[in-house]
């Protein structure tokens, strides 16, 4: 990395200072606690790996990590599975810049609402007497309300909803860069619409799918409010543990859990980048 | 595949294609014979690519019909037509190897693997890429990619091969080399080629027949020689080769020739038959048919003056001012003969049967 000239330094300085002062330093201070000991409601300033040892030998930690990874994976797969067709339709079926802009705003809407408000909205929709259950009951599709709240289902539904724009837009952008004559060439060589999609369009837009997937996965992995409010204590994920530990002044445990969370995120990004490098570029 | 020797392979019947309010192709009709190398030639935006894409099934025509092998194509999609296209941007699949690119069409037809292998190898051999099958597309040069695109289309043994300016991205030397290869390939395979280009030299050199297009209309169809020697319109005369286009009024006609007046001057031309005394028309003279000499007082020569001179080795190009008009002459350079200087007075003339008339 090379920084050219004083102008660049001047332009970058505020961001670097803010990031360093308000993010990296507190993060470092917090993480240092991971090497201290928590005993009788107090943090003892001794240097030890005890907390790490305790975390990684506790079966419960692995259960939390499994739940976190499972939640993030399900949400990512769902967001991509729903998002790809939306992006494809947006790319192929929507003509005109105006219509596209309107749809983009509609798709981004969930991001413009506070996460707390949105989550309460889902509470109303998914409750036993909520809109979803009432509708399903009226239609006679179910005999009694389906439990959609305070369990994995509710968290998955709400998180998928909020992740959709992050899945759609990277895919949409790669679709836009795809040379239209590639699809035509496939049709010309005898491929029907489906064979063209599976043989040409999908493989060449995988970079978009991968980058959308990375964003969804890391955001879902670190989601806190949604599992907290809609999980009802039954969806124990890493961010919740970090929060609970911090509230209980057990900073060492919180710090170690944070490191685990960070490590899983970094691992996911690294794995996807490795795959991405093998994919062909569209341009 | 059996074909009648001279049947029409492609029959384009009065097709019209509009994009919104823009008429891209207007009432275009022509036929392409089996085994023919047919070019659609014209400047960008003339509708030649749209016409080609309509034949390939990539554009639905608003009016008219296209018959391939005597069968109406209607709205048949590209994958169900007996055509294959070589795209301007080649459109090779970057995620496949050369082999997989060439095999794509055969695999779509679910041919058995051994046959696919054999035909792909043959096709690559034919375009002299036999050794590069395992390469990725990104690892090939422009000329090699061009050959892969050709092999990928030809391996399917299409009845008609459509080529959309396939050589336009290449440098001149490679382009000329590939022109020759294309022509040779077409002759040896006997496949009908429809070739779109804006390069008149390319069209003249390669084609059996050329269709010249302008502003969505087909101006003229003919052999390269016919189009060069007997342009049907002013546009064709100006677009194919260099031409002096002289607007004149017919003064007298006799038998095979006519005399027309431009201001004070008189010019001569071959008579096509439609010209009428007193009516305006355009006389088209190729610069290499214009003769210039020292003035000798002969009555049938135009009195002019050399305005500019450019020496290009085999030719000397003169720009000549004749009262009322400006003419270009291209004179073969003969070793030892003196050149005319700028400002020299000259006598300008041409044989009447070397100039043609087109409607004004």
> How many domains would you assign to chain A?
1
**Which residues are CB-contacts of B278 (< 8 A; sequence separation ≥ 6)?**
B249, B250
Check residues B6 and A113 and name the one with the higher pLDDT. A113
Whether residues B185 and B322 share a domain: the answer is no
pLDDT value of residue A108: 84
Whether residues B227 and B321 share a domain: the answer is no
Residues from chain B contacting residue A280 (CB–CB below 8 Å)? 94-95, 136, 138
What's the CATH code of the domain at A78? 1.10.3720.10
Query: For the residues B265-276, what does the mean pLDDT come to?
Result: 88
Q: Of B197, B213, B236, which closes a domain?
A: B236
pLDDT value of residue A279: 67
Give ∠ CA A107-A110-A112 in degrees, rounded to 5: 105
Q: Is B88 on the interface with A (CB under 8 A)?
A: yes
In-domain check, residue B139: yes
Query: For the residues B233-250, what does the mean pLDDT come to?
Result: 92
Q: Which two tokens stand for residue B88?
A: 């301007």
Q: Is A200 on the interface with B (CB under 8 A)?
A: yes
pLDDT higher than threshold 90 for residue B158: yes
CB-CB under 8 Å, A280 with B91: no
pLDDT higher than threshold 50 for residue B103: yes
Query: For the residues B326-352, what does the mean pLDDT come to?
Result: 90
In this structure, the strands spanning B192-197 and B37-41 are parallel
Cα distances (Å, whole numbers) of residue B73 to A94, B58, B63, B82: 28, 12, 13, 10
Check residues A113 and B24 and name the one with the higher pLDDT. B24
Q: Is B109 on the interface with A (CB under 8 A)?
A: yes
CB-CB under 8 Å, B104 with A184: no
Residues from chain A contacting residue B57 (CB–CB below 8 Å)? 187
Q: Which two tokens stand for residue A259?
A: 């490191």
Q: Chains A and B: how many Cβ contacts under 8 Å?
A: 64
Whether residues B29 and B113 share a domain: the answer is yes
Whether residues B332 and B255 share a domain: the answer is yes
Place of tokens 């005597």: B70
> How many domains would you assign to chain B?
2
In-domain check, residue B3: no
Search chain A and give the residue with CA nearest B92: A182
Range of the domain at B298: 242-359
In-domain check, residue A184: yes
Whether residues B111 and B229 share a domain: the answer is yes
pLDDT value of residue B299: 67
Residues from chain A contacting residue B83 (CB–CB below 8 Å)? 188
pLDDT value of residue B1: 40
| ipTM rounded to 2 decimals | 0.82
pLDDT higher than threshold 70 for residue B2: no
In-domain check, residue A31: no
CB-CB under 8 Å, B152 with A184: no
Q: Is B95 on the interface with A (CB under 8 A)?
A: yes
- pLDDT confidence of B110, banded at 50, 70, 90? very high
pLDDT value of residue B335: 86
Q: Of B207, B236, B265, which closes a domain?
A: B236
Distance from CA of A207 to the nearest CA of B (A): 12
Distance from CA of B85 to the nearest CA of A (A): 7
Distance from CA of B80 to the nearest CA of A (A): 7
Whether residues B286 and B184 share a domain: the answer is no
In-domain check, residue A98: no
pLDDT value of residue A281: 53
CB-CB under 8 Å, B104 with A182: no
pLDDT value of residue B263: 81
What's the CATH code of the domain at B57? 3.40.50.300
Distance from CA of B88 to the nearest CA of A (A): 9
CB-CB under 8 Å, A280 with B85: no
pLDDT value of residue A283: 38
Cβ count near B39 (within 10 Å): 26
Cα distances (Å, whole numbers) of residue B50 to A129, B165, B217: 59, 12, 12
pLDDT higher than threshold 60 for residue B3: no
Q: Is A275 on the interface with B (CB under 8 A)?
A: no
CA nearest neighbour of B291 among B343, B335, B244, B227:
B244
Q: Is B311 on the interface with A (CB under 8 A)?
A: no
Distance of alpha carbon A201 from alpha carbon A178, whole angstroms: 8
Q: Is A199 on the interface with B (CB under 8 A)?
A: yes
Whether residues B230 and B264 share a domain: the answer is no
Whether residues B292 and B148 share a domain: the answer is no
User: Model pTM greater than 0.80?
Assistant: yes
Whether residues B24 and B144 share a domain: the answer is yes
Whether residues B43 and B155 share a domain: the answer is yes
pLDDT value of residue A2: 62
Helix or strand holding residue A37 (H, E): strand A37-39
- pLDDT confidence of B356, banded at 50, 70, 90? very high
B309 in Cβ contact with B340 (< 8 Å): yes
What's the CATH code of the domain at B348? 2.40.50.140
Instruction: Write the DSSP string, A97-149.
Output: HHHHHHHHHHHHHHHHS-HHHHHHHHHHHHSTTSHHHHHHHHTTS-SS----S
pLDDT value of residue A280: 59
In-domain check, residue B269: yes
Name the DSSP letter for residue B5. Answer: T
pLDDT higher than threshold 90 for residue B308: yes
CA nearest neighbour of A219 among A71, A113, A92, A90:
A71
Whether residues B228 and B246 share a domain: the answer is no
Distance of alpha carbon A266 from alpha carbon A32, whole angstroms: 19
Search chain A and give the residue with CA nearest B110: A190
What pLDDT, in 10s, does the model give residues B41-98? 999 999 999 999 999 999 999 999 999 999 999 999 999 999 999 999 899 999 999 9
In-domain check, residue A36: no
B84 in Cβ contact with B154 (< 8 Å): yes
Query: For the residues B297-311, what does the mean pLDDT come to?
Result: 86
pLDDT higher than threshold 50 for residue B5: no
Residues from chain A contacting residue B109 (CB–CB below 8 Å)? 190
Range of the domain at A265: 51-86+150-278
% of chain B surpassing 90 pLDDT:
71
In this structure, the strands spanning B209-214 and B8-19 are unpaired
pLDDT value of residue A282: 46
Check residues A93 and B207 and name the one with the higher pLDDT. B207
pLDDT higher than threshold 90 for residue B169: no
- Please list, residue by residue across B188-209, b when 16 or more beta carbons sit within 10 angstroms of its beta carbon and e when fewer do: eeebbbbbbbbbbebbbebbbb
Indicate the average pLDDT of chain B: 91
Name the DSSP letter for residue A281. Answer: P
In-domain check, residue A93: no
Whether residues B247 and B346 share a domain: the answer is yes
B185 in Cβ contact with B166 (< 8 Å): no
Tens digit of pLDDT at every position of chain A (283 positions): 566 778 888 898 999 999 888 989 988 988 898 999 988 888 888 899 999 999 999 999 999 999 999 999 999 999 999 999 999 999 988 888 898 889 888 888 888 888 889 888 998 999 888 888 999 999 988 888 888 888 899 999 999 999 999 999 999 999 999 999 999 999 999 999 999 999 999 999 999 999 999 999 999 999 999 999 898 888 899 999 999 999 999 999 999 999 999 999 999 899 888 887 776 554 3
Cβ count near B22 (within 10 Å): 9
Query: For the residues B139-152, what does the mean pLDDT come to?
Result: 92
């Amino acid at each position: 990395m090379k920084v050219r000239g004083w102008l660049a330094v001047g332009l970058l300085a505020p961001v670097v200072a803010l990031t360093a002062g308000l993010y990296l330093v507190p993060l470092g201070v917090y993480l240092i606690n991971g090497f201290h000991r928590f005993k009788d409601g107090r943090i003892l300033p001794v240097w030890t790996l005890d907390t790490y040892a305790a975390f990684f030998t506790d079966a419960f930690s692995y259960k939390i990590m499994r739940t976190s990874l499972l939640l993030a994976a399900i949400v990512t797969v769902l967001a991509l599975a729903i998002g790809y067709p939306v992006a494809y339709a947006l790319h192929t079926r929507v003509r005109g810049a105006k219509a596209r802009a309107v749809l983009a705003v509609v798709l981004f809407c969930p991001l413009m609402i506070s996460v707390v408000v949105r989550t309460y909205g889902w509470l109303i929709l998914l409750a036993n007497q909520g809109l979803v259950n009432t509708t399903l009951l009226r239609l006679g599709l179910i005999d009694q309300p389906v439990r959609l709240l305070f369990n994995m289902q509710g968290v998955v539904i709400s998180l998928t909803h909020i992740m959709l724009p992050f899945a759609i837009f990277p895919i949409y952008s790669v679709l836009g860069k795809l040379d239209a004559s590639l699809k035509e060439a496939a049709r010309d060589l005898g491929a029907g619409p489906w064979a063209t999609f599976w043989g040409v369009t999908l493989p060449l837009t995988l970079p978009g799918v991968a980058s959308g997937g990375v964003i969804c996965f890391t955001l879902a992995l670190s989601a806190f409010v949604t599992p907290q409010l809609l999980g009802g204590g039954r969806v124990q994920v890493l961010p919740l543990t970090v929060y609970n530990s911090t509230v209980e002044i057990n900073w060492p445990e919180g710090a170690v859990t944070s490191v685990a969370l960070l490590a899983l995120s970094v691992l996911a990004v690294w794995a996807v980048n490795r795959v991405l490098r093998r994919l062909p570029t569209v341009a | 595949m059996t074909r009648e020797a001279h049947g029409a392979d492609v029959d384009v019947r009065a097709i019209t294609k509009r994009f919104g309010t823009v008429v891209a192709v207007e009432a275009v009709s022509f036929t392409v014979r089996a085994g023919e190398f047919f070019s659609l030639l014209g400047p960008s935006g003339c509708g030649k690519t749209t016409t080609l894409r309509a034949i390939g099934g990539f554009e639905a025509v608003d009016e008219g019909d296209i018959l391939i092998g005597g069968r109406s194509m209607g709205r048949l999609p590209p994958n169900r037509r007996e055509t294959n296209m070589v795209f301007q941007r080649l459109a090779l699949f970057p995620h496949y190897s050369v082999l997989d690119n060439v095999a794509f069409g055969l695999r779509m037809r679910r041919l058995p693997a051994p046959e696919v292998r054999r035909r792909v190898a043959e096709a690559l051999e034919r375009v002299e890429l036999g050794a590069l099958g395992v390469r990725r597309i990104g690892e090939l040069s422009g000329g090699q990619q061009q050959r892969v695109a050709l092999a990928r289309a030809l391996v399917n043994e299409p009845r008609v091969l459509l080529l959309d300016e396939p050589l336009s991205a290449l440098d001149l030397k490679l382009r000329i080399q590939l022109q020759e290869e294309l022509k040779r390939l077409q002759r040896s395979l006997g496949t009908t080629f429809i070739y779109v280009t804006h390069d008149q030299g390319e069209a003249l050199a390669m084609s059996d027949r050329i269709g010249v297009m302008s502003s969505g209309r087909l101006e003229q169809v003919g052999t390269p020689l016919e189009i060069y020697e007997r342009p049907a319109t002013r546009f064709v005369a100006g677009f194919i080769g260099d031409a002096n286009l002289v607007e004149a009024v017919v003064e007298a006609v006799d038998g095979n020739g006519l005399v027309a007046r431009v201001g004070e001057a008189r010019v001569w031309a071959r008579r096509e038959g439609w010209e009428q005394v007193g009516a305006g028309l355009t006389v088209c003279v190729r610069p290499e048919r214009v003769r210039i000499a020292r003035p000798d007082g002969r009555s049938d020569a135009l009195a002019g003056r050399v305005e500019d001179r450019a020496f290009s080795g085999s030719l000397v190009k003169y720009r000549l001012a004749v009262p009322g008009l400006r003419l270009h002459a291209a004179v073969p350079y003969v070793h030892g003969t003196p050149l005319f200087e700028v400002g020299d007075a000259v006598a300008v003339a041409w044989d009447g049967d070397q100039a043609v008339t087109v409607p004004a």
